[in-house]
Amino acid sequence: MTIIEKNNYLSFNFYINFKDMSKVKIISIIYAIGIIIGALFFDIWGAETTPLKTMSVFAWTVIFIITLFFVDKNERK
């Protein structure tokens, strides 16, 4: 095996192919990234939490659950 073939093989192992992932996994990853961004940059779980911050997390979770429902429903067809 040459160096080029070995290098391509190694880089292929770290490549995430979104075409082969289920839509539920992709949506879950997007939800988790949104929660992490909310926690780190918008201080959602800080000491001074406003009702707007609480409702935004609640709305993000509701959107996630609704999206999961419809995606799972369409994948089963």
40 touches 51 (CB < 8 A)? no
Domain boundaries, the chain: 16-76
* pLDDT, tens only, 16-74: 666 677 888 889 999 999 999 988 888 887 878 888 888 988 999 999 999 999 998 88
Whole-number Å distance between alpha carbons of 21 and 30: 13
Closest CA to 38 of 9, 76, 18, 64: 64
Residue-level pLDDT at 65: 94
Residue-level pLDDT at 59: 94
Whole-number Å distance between alpha carbons of 37 and 40: 5
In this prediction the pTM is 0.69
